[in-house]
Amino acid sequence: MKLFSPLLCFTLVFATVFTTAGFKAVSAEVPYDSYNYSYWEKAVPSAVPYKPQAIIDGRAEAYGAFQSPEDLFVTKDNDIYILDSGNNRIVVLDEAFQLRKVIDGFQNGGAADTFNNPQGIFVTGEGSIYVADTDNQRVVELTNEGELIRIINRPESDVIRAGFEYYPTKIAVDQAKRIYVVSRGVYDGIIEFDSDGVFTGFTGANKVTFNPVDYLWRVLATREQRARMSLFIPIEFNNVDVDADGFLYTTNSELNTQTPIQRLNPTGTDVIRKEGYHDIVGDLVYPHTGENAGGSTFIDISVNEYGMYSALDAKRGRIFTYDEDGNLLYIFGQLGNQTGTFRTPVAIDRLEDNILVLDKGFHRLTVFRPTEFGRLVNQAVMHYNIGNDAISAEYWEKVLRLNANYDIAYIGIGKALLMEGKNEEAMEYFLNGHSRKYYSKAYKRYRQEVMRENFGTIMGALLLFPALIIGWKAAGAVRRRRGKAVVE
Amino acid sequence: MWSEWIKYPLYVCIHPFKGYWDVKYEGKGKMNIALSIVLLLTVVIILKRQFTGFVVNFNNPNELNSIDELIYIVLPFFLFAVSNWAITTLMEGEGKFQEIIIAAAYALVPMMIIYSVTTVISNFITWEEAPLFFMLDSLALLWFLGLLFVGIMTIHQYSVAKTVATFFLTVVVMGVIIFLGLLFFSLIQQMVAFAETVYREIVYRS
């Protein structure tokens, strides 16, 4: 017992210290692990980029609890528009999450009209509110005060196939007031209306994909069997966002696609930049069998003015953020029951540096605030985008202090060094960042530099070497002749 | 020494028909030289994997393993020799096992030389010059295949068509040997596991 008691005491003390420390830590801890993918496609731990800061569910507020909210929009003035679909209303909050107004209906030709399960919202720079009023099969444009401007009904045109169902779910409006609508069950592409609300066509239809085995079966099948098989049809888009230059960022939920995120130019071609190590597909390592099999299923995307875009993976509740070149910057978020995790995440947007995620299952909005690491990465990317390479490199240096395995930071610093003409140092950084392309560039300059400095030595050696050989041979010949002479 | 170890293998690379003829009828090739070439090639390839310049080196340094290289080079070499010998004895080939090994090993010489050269120059090239590197590497492979073909043809005194056929059969036999080997290991494993289980049962019950 004597031997026992000090040990017991120690254990008790230790346990107390440990648990209290644990309790304190919980408030600062995040409910998810953060990781990133290395150059070798391995998931490696990373610093946490974003932490949950606040939950907005309206339960304790005058406007009441949300009911299955479906979409979210943050304007340039930092007003937050929440499309509270279950209550058929729009809740507008200011940047401090205080109520600004609620729009739950509008006057339509003298009669009161309401939404019916609306699923998409977009607010233009001038404050016009566009709502994809899904079950009413229409798009509604309201003034910022909630007065009706116009209603855009289902598109009418010869190019629309028979059996076309129109249930607009997501909407985006570009600078020229062209309206892009994503509709449930429409695989022809994104429906495009001009500024007058006249249907102009489909844009960016996904390509049909099928696997060879399916194709073989189809070829072998009889006509009757073929008629009963599912058709090869392109996958529909499920969300759309528009950036400052009028490019559309879209997501689709096709299984195992290499292009779940597309950046469509005005002609509907995917022009997303893929300069990163890996395809822009979210998770690279995932189970192939079981309940949660398959890669990430993106459901919403948000692009900021520096070309960074964050995509929301509904399958695992993760948010993947890429820079304009397609480098995976950071990953965070998780499905779960704790504060800061999701049940059915449906929409994502940015409020300055914060990321807002709308959860339909939990009927709430979660606000994520960047940690120091996240903030530094954002700053570095921003400064690189606006051309301040040197400042960007300073931020990358700080990022490396928090996460020494951050390959993109090495490349960022390397680029800045290359601009300054420090080729040899740049090579070192590109080597650490696994960037063959830039390493090669830096090396080319470095080699030129060395050659120029040592031109005399190199040329001298080149001339001297043959001279030495010739001399040696000549000397040998002389020696041989003399040897012969001696023998004779 | 100089002539036998350095000059003659190089001579075979450039004059394969005459070279291999002399290997067969003049007793020029040596077994220990042949084995040294294979060993040296293994070393060269291990060095190549590790020290090729970053621009054209796509190997993950965390996954490089010199023992693996031994398995990927020495094992296929002897597998080929055994399979080829097995097939050619049935197909009236005149070559002995020793000659097959010498012919195959001497064919590896250009690969050994070119690989060591490209490993060095790869450290001084940019991405734009990389095609040169890849071209030289492919050249090494093609040269090796050409020499092997001529070597086997000469050693066994075959016609071209028959050589092609034996090459094809050699590959099939290599596959069969690997299959049997795996089968053998798998069966042994099962037997060991069975014996172990029986032993455990007895130990636990008594």
pLDDT, tens digit (0-9, with 9 covering 90-100), for B2-51: 788 888 999 999 999 999 999 889 888 889 999 999 999 999 999 999 99
Number of A–B residue contacts, CB under 8 Å: 20
Beta-carbon separation of A443 and B60 below 8 A = no
> Is A416 found in the same domain as A284?
no
Going by C-alpha positions, the residue among A205, A267, A214, A268 that lies closest to residue A237 is A205
Alpha carbon of A187: minimum distance to chain B alpha carbons (Å): 40
pLDDT of A434 reads 92
pLDDT of B152 reads 94
> CA-based Rg of chain B, rounded to a whole angstrom?
21
> Is A262 found in the same domain as A174?
yes
CB-nearest partner of A436 from B60, B62, B127 = B127
- Contacts of residue A40 in chain B, CB cutoff 8 Å? 60, 62
> Is A342 found in the same domain as A366?
yes
Residues 62-121 of B with CB under 8 A from A: 62
- Report the run of H or E that residue B178 belongs to, with start and end: helix B160-205
A436 contacts chain B (CB < 8 A):
yes
- Counting DSSP H helices and E strands in chain B, the numbers are 9, 0
Last residue within a domain, chosen from A370, A391, A424: A370
pLDDT of A488 reads 55
> Is A193 found in the same domain as A264?
yes
CB-nearest partner of A431 from B54, B60, B62 = B54
AA letter at A293: A
Beta-carbon separation of B127 and A40 below 8 A = no
Round to the nearest angstrom and report the end-to-end CA distance of chain B. 69
Q: d(Cα A389, Cα A420) in Å, to the nearest integer? A: 10
Q: Tens digits of per-residue pLDDT, B61-118?
A: 888 999 988 888 999 999 999 999 999 999 888 889 999 999 999 999 999 999 999 9
Residue A375 placed within a domain: no
pLDDT of A206 reads 66
> Is A463 found in the same domain as A448?
no
- Report the run of H or E that residue A458 belongs to, with start and end: helix A455-487
B11 CB contacts (<8 Å, ≥6 apart)? B19
Residues A343, A347, A351, CA angle at the centre, nearest 5°?
A: 115
Q: d(Cα A181, Cα A242) in Å, to the nearest integer? A: 12
Beta-carbon separation of B55 and A431 below 8 A = no
CA distance readout (Å), A66 to A2, A63, A326, A450: 62, 9, 35, 67
Q: What is the mean pLDDT of each run of 10 residues along chain A (488 residues)?
A: 46 44 46 90 91 89 89 92 92 91 87 90 92 91 90 85 86 91 86 89 76 81 78 78 89 83 88 90 88 87 91 93 93 91 93 92 92 94 91 94 91 92 93 92 93 88 88 87 69
> Is A88 found in the same domain as A138?
yes
Enumerate the β-bridge partners of residue A188: none
Please tell me chain A's helix, strand, coil percentages from 3-state DSSP, rounded to the nearest 5.
30, 30, 40
Residue A198 placed within a domain: yes
A481 contacts chain B (CB < 8 A):
no
Sort A148 into a burial class: Cβ within 10 Å, 0-12 / 13-18 / 19+: middle
Its domain, for residue A105, covers 38-370
Domain count for chain A: 3
Tokens 């490396």 found at = A400
Last residue within a domain, chosen from A328, A352, A370: A370
pLDDT of B204 reads 92
Residues 25-64 of B with CB under 8 A from A: 54-55, 60, 62
Structure tokens at A83: 């499309």
Beta-carbon separation of A436 and B60 below 8 A = no
Tokens 């985008």 found at = A385
Residue A9 placed within a domain: no
A317, A335 contact by CB (below 8 A): yes
Q: d(Cα A446, Cα A424) in Å, to the nearest integer? A: 6
pLDDT of A6 reads 47
- Contacts of residue B124 in chain A, CB cutoff 8 Å? 447
pLDDT of A230 reads 67
> Is A63 found in the same domain as A166?
yes
Going by C-alpha positions, the residue among A25, A66, A116, A1 that lies closest to residue A347 is A66
A168, A236 contact by CB (below 8 A): no
pLDDT of A112 reads 87
B74 CB contacts (<8 Å, ≥6 apart)? B38, B39, B42
**For B88, phi and psi rounded to 5 degrees?**
-70, -30
Please tell me chain B's helix, strand, coil percentages from 3-state DSSP, rounded to the nearest 5.
85, 0, 15
Residues 122-151 of B with CB under 8 A from A: 124, 126-128
**For A110, phi and psi rounded to 5 degrees?**
95, -20
> Is A299 found in the same domain as A150?
yes
> Is A449 found in the same domain as A352?
no
Q: d(Cα A168, Cα A310) in Å, to the nearest integer? A: 23
Half-sphere exposure of A303 (CA within 13 A, CB side): 25
**CATH code at A66?**
2.120.10.30
Q: d(Cα A137, Cα A191) in Å, to the nearest integer? A: 13
> Is A234 found in the same domain as A144?
yes
Going by C-alpha positions, the residue among A310, A320, A295 that lies closest to residue A34 is A320
Beta-carbon separation of A40 and B128 below 8 A = no
> Is A366 found in the same domain as A427?
no
> Is A190 found in the same domain as A156?
yes
A260, A296 contact by CB (below 8 A): yes
A18, A8 contact by CB (below 8 A): no
Structure tokens at B170: 């050699």
Q: d(Cα A329, Cα A333) in Å, to the nearest integer? A: 14
Sort A280 into a burial class: Cβ within 10 Å, 0-12 / 13-18 / 19+: buried
Residue A388 placed within a domain: no
Q: Tens digits of per-residue pLDDT, B126-152?
A: 999 999 999 999 999 999 999 999 999
CB-nearest partner of A439 from B54, B60, B128 = B54
pLDDT of A197 reads 87
